């Protein structure tokens, strides 16, 4: 009933090819997109005005949300290459040389240093500030910003297809685990893959896998299902990030590459200054989820 886990193929492919989150098919989708941008723009405006400081899940439905990672300009090449070598956890959507350097396909009139509800400021690999505005440390090109796709882009699609993720039903954060799978390294960036987990009945796994595979810009399909020990995870009830979720008898845990992976790489790299979004407090794009779906 349960197909073989894709883990071996995933491990073999690590670092073998360079790619972003976007496929050749995306160009057409982007140029034909005539999305209503006002919902997304309103969320960003509220953040900028200080009127929104909480998580973004469920806001501006249909619009893609993105992880933000900013590294010193001197390390921008190594981090760009880290993302290209590890496209499953780090699906690149955009690179911003300054806070306002974004193509209109991603978001118009945006300021990445002010338009997220909450930021983490990192110094020497440690989070030293948790703030609602990052413009005190990022105004010009001292940092380079990277936007990475997020699984929010397909969680609604899973629910719509009859496979609602349990943590969404429970209203909790998704369970995340540090694995024993080494990322492809680039300069000071390395570390281990972080995965998110959603439990499903074995017979649901093929459909759930196929649906999420269609979103390579949002981590794509699962990297593993079945025995957590294959990823070096000892205890599913004790996630490294987020909240534990019940795995019912007969269900299997299904694991996806997770956007927290680069934050684990940042901790290891211990650079003088980095900025990221605070977990769950994402950048809301004009770009729509549908444009990220590969058909």
Q: Which residues contact a second copy by CB under 8 A?
A: 9, 12-13, 15-20, 22-28, 30-31, 73, 76-77, 80-81, 84, 87, 92-95, 97, 103-105, 144, 216, 220, 294
Strand partners, 288: 63
CA distance 152 to 67: 11
Q: What is the dihedral of CA 162, 168, 170, 174, to 10 degrees?
A: 130
Distances 127 to 23, 163, 194, 261, 271 between C-alpha atoms, Å: 34, 35, 18, 15, 11
Report the greatest alpha carbon distance in the chain: 54
Q: Write b or e for each residue in 129-154: b if 16 or more Cβ atoms lie within 10 A of its Cβ, otherwise e.
A: eeebbbeebbeeeebbbbbbbbbbbb
C-beta closer to a second copy: residue 146 or 152: 146
Q: Which is nearer to a second copy, 22 or 134 (CB)?
A: 22
Q: How far is the CB of 251 from a second copy (least distance, A)?
A: 27
Rank residues 114 and 293 by Cβ distance to a second copy and give the closer one: 293
| Residues sharing a CB contact under 8 Å with residue 40, sequence separation 6 or more, in sequence order | 60, 63, 107, 284, 285, 286
């Amino acid at each position: 009933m349960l197909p073989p886990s894709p883990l071996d193929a995933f491990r073999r492919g690590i670092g073998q090819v360079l790619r972003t989150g976007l496929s050749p098919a995306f160009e057409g989708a982007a140029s034909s997109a005539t999305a209503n941008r006002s919902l997304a723009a309103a969320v960003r405006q509220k953040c900028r005005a200080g009127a929104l400081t909480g998580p973004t899940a469920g806001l501006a439905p249909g619009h893609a949300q993105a992880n933000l990672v900013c590294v010193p300009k001197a390390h921008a090449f190594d981090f760009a290459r880290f993302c290209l070598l590890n496209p499953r956890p780090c699906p690149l959507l955009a690179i911003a040389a300054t806070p306002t350097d974004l193509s209109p396909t991603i978001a118009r009139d945006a300021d990445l240093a002010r338009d997220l509800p909450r930021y983490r400021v990192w110094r020497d690999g440690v989070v030293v500030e948790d703030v609602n505005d990052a413009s005190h440390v990022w105004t010009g090109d001292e940092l380079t910003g990277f936007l990475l796709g997020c699984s929010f882009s397909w969680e609604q699609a899973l629910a719509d297809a009859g496979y609602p993720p349990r943590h969404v039903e429970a209203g909790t954060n998704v369970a995340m685990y540090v694995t024993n799978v080494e990322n492809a390294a680039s300069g000071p960036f390395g570390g281990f893959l972080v995965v998110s987990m959603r439990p499903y009945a074995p017979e649901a796994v093929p459909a759930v896998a196929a649906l999420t595979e269609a979103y390579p810009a949002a981590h794509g399909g699962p990297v593993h299902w079945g025995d957590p020990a294959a990823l070096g995870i000892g205890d599913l009830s004790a996630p490294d990030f987020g909240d534990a979720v019940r795995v019912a008898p007969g269900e299997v845990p299904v694991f996806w590459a997770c956007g927290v992976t680069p934050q684990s790489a940042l901790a290891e790299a211990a650079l003088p200054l980095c900025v990221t979004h605070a977990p769950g407090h994402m950048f809301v794009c004009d770009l729509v989820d549908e444009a990220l779906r590969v058909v």
